[in-house]
Homo-oligomer: A and B are copies of this chain.
């Protein structure tokens, strides 16, 4: 289903937030301002809420934190409309295949095992996400890529440096490189991903480069171009989606790459 169809299906294009009545536009906001608690601070909080488009803004809670900070909770009506037609979503633009179908397609069309190299790069040591995708155990009742007979999976684990990753991709003749990034403080995930894609661009000519895929719970899936990767997977990804995408991008629709 494309975004347009989805919009049409819903039968309406413009909506507002819903508190308890259609169109009431109600939202909840909380934040801290670096000012001591007094009336002026409360006024400042209302000002911020107004700038966010909340009007009238009900300041319902203000609590001093330490010396120079105040925490606020604001409720109110936001004036923005949400235009569903303008929503840009990375919809799944490839068919979801079963493990059997994935294996069959790789075997028939590629005629060799598809090589996948995975890692958590940088100083990130959160392997649970990439393991969920790669290890046999899988997640949410789906087996991971290791379970697919026609995929050859090399999982490098955590805290892999970018040069190590590039080298492993070369050695394993990787068709695809799967990188996980979970720590996002100070945009660590973005920095690391950019460093990774730059390294591959530098190390290999365009045609020889493996498909670059990153995943993690806080990515914006629309940022592929900005990050120089082929695809981004977010919260709640399942191995089946990843396998289907691999087949789509590397086997059935090579130009997609």
Which residues of A are in contact with B by a Cβ distance under 8 Å?
Answer: 3, 6-7, 10, 15-19, 22, 26-36, 38-40, 42-44, 46-48, 51-54, 56, 58, 60, 69, 78, 80, 82-84, 86-91, 184, 218, 220
Contacts and interface: CB of A to CB of B under 8 A. Distances in A.
B84 A35 contact: yes
Given A26-B31, A34-B22, A39-B89, A56 B220 contact: yes
Nearest to A34: B18
15 contacts: A10-B35, A15-B35, A15-B44, A17-B32, A22-B34, A27-B29, A33-B82, A44-B82, A44-B84, A47-B82, A48-B78, A51-B82, A52-B80, A53-B53, A58-B184
Contacts of A27: 29-31, 52
Q: How many copies of this chain does the complex contain? A: 2
Given A53-B52, A218-B58, A91 B39 contact: yes
Nearest to A10: B35
B29 A15 contact: no
Interface of A is mostly: mixed
Given A31-B28, A52-B80, A87 B15 contact: no
A87 B184 CA distance: 34
B80 A43 contact: no
Given A31-B78, A40-B84, 12 more contacts: A17-B31, A17-B48, A27-B52, A28-B30, A29-B29, A39-B89, A40-B91, A43-B88, A47-B87, A48-B80, A53-B53, A60-B218
A54 B26 CA distance: 17
Contacts of A44: 15, 82, 84, 87
